[in-house]
Amino acid sequence: MKMDDQSLMAALSENVLTVNMLLIVFFLPGVLADCGDLKPALFITTPKKIEALNGSCLHIPCSFNTKEKSFNSSRTIYGIWMKHKASFGNPASSIFNSSGSVNTYSLNITGNLREKNCITLFPDLKTNYTDKYFFRVENGPFRATACADPLQITVKDSPWSPSINISGGDLKEHQSVTITCSALTPCPHSPPELTWNLQQDSHRQTEKNTDGTFTTKIQENITLSDTHDGYNIRCSARYPVNGGNKTAETAVTLSVSYAPRNTSASISPSGLVSAGSWVELNCSSRAKPPASFTWFRNSKHGAINVSVGQVYSFNVTEGGEFYCVATNDLANETSSVILLNTKGNPVFVAIVVGVIWFICLVLSVWYFKSKCPTPQQTRVGYFSSSVCSKFLSAGL
């Protein structure tokens, strides 16, 4: 009997020890924000890191979960936010208790805790709120801190530059693209004002992302042309904060490929060139990527490819018609034809000389014929008529 009592006492004290250990196991992770080696009983889903703007609000997307059977959503649920003070034996301090007992930063859990929704709103952040925050749930005997899921909040004093996004990878002329300027929106209740140097009345939209955060954007559809190449798109985001606005700007330069344009051929020296002299034909074109050039010469048998490259230079042997074709990845374009005229071309000179000679001859014959007497007038002067008849017989 005494032995039984003793063994009972031993069994009891063993139980007390186990209970104590259980208490340590269950309450340590509850009170301290650090998990240590212990498995957490509460999990939350939020972005791991979240940035906010000094003097603005912060919407924290949040939901929680637990596998513990002791959680019963029919009982009162307290949602608690704690600020991390990481040191052993120093419990994290509560900054908010949904019971209303603590609210250091005027927070509000706007989510429905019964639906395991812990969406939280910080109405007015200060730079010194930058810290790690932990969520805790107290629900009857269920009391646990999401010690493995800290939320890092960083409060910045300067806003984020918006980002400009253009749909479609390589931009080409005639392509229709959507240009979007988007800005982080930690406080969807007062989203940033977006303005850009495209269409002024672009409709602003604030949208929820898949992770529960928000983005504000403006969009415009444009059909690209060569004139858009090199265009600088600037977008600025103006965030309302307590006592004013904070602005940040972004710019991107469009790079648009286009087919060759304004293709023209020039010749140097211009005007008549003498046979055997040096001429330079130069083809120019606007194109992106830059064009490559091919020179053609018109002949009786059609166009002949005579040279490749921007400049075609050669010693003139004869005149002709030349043109160039500028080609890039997108298309090709043909220049107008340029005429190469030569002076000192033997055939040309012979023909010209021959024609002039013939004209002179015809003119002199006509002249003498009109001055010389007809056979009926021979009596007027022997001498003149004899000269005329000699000339006429020689001339004809």
Cα separation, 84 vs 149, whole angstroms: 12
- By CB under 6 A, is residue 174 in contact with ligand NAG? no
Contacts of 300 (CB under 8 A, 6+ apart): none
Nearest approach, Cβ of residue 49 and ligand NAG (Å): 19
Binding segment (CB under 6 A) for ligand NAG, from list 2-10, 235-243, 359-367, 372-380 = 235-243
Q: Which is nearer to ligand NAG, 144 or 325 (CB)?
A: 325
Nearest approach, Cβ of residue 48 and ligand NAG (Å): 20
- By CB under 6 A, is residue 55 in contact with ligand NAG? yes
Residue 330 CB-density burial (10 A; 0-12 exposed, 13-18 middle, 19+ buried): middle
DSSP 257: B
Tell me which of 179, 256, 291, 325 binds ligand NAG, using CB under 6 A.
325
- Whether the CB-CB separation of 281 and 353 falls below 8 Å is answered with no
Cα separation, 56 vs 190, whole angstroms: 8
Cα separation, 90 vs 326, whole angstroms: 77
- By CB under 6 A, is residue 32 in contact with ligand NAG? no
- By CB under 6 A, is residue 247 in contact with ligand NAG? no
Beta pairing class for 176-185 and 142-145: unpaired
Binding segment (CB under 6 A) for ligand NAG, from list 11-19, 157-165, 375-383, 385-393 = 157-165
DSSP 2: H
Kindly write down the DSSP assignment for every residue of 366-394, as one continuous string: HHHHHHSPPGGGGGG-HHHHHHHHHHHHH
* Site pattern 86..125 for ligand NAG (x: CB under 6 A): --------x--x-x-xx-----x-x---------------
- By CB under 6 A, is residue 128 in contact with ligand NAG? yes
- By CB under 6 A, is residue 221 in contact with ligand NAG? yes
Kindly write down the DSSP assignment for every residue of 140-177, as one continuous string: TTEEEE-TT--EEEEEESSPPPPEEEESSSS-BTT-EE
Binding segment (CB under 6 A) for ligand NAG, from list 236-244, 250-258, 335-343, 360-368 = 236-244
Nearest approach, Cβ of residue 201 and ligand NAG (Å): 10
Contacts of 171 (CB under 8 A, 6+ apart): 177, 224, 228, 254, 255, 256, 257
- By CB under 6 A, is residue 167 in contact with ligand NAG? yes
Interface positions with ligand NAG (CB under 6 A): 54-55, 72, 74-75, 78, 80, 94, 97, 99, 101-102, 108, 110, 126-128, 138, 157, 163, 165, 167, 178, 193, 219-221, 238, 240, 242-245, 261-262, 276, 278, 282, 284, 294, 311, 315, 325, 327, 332
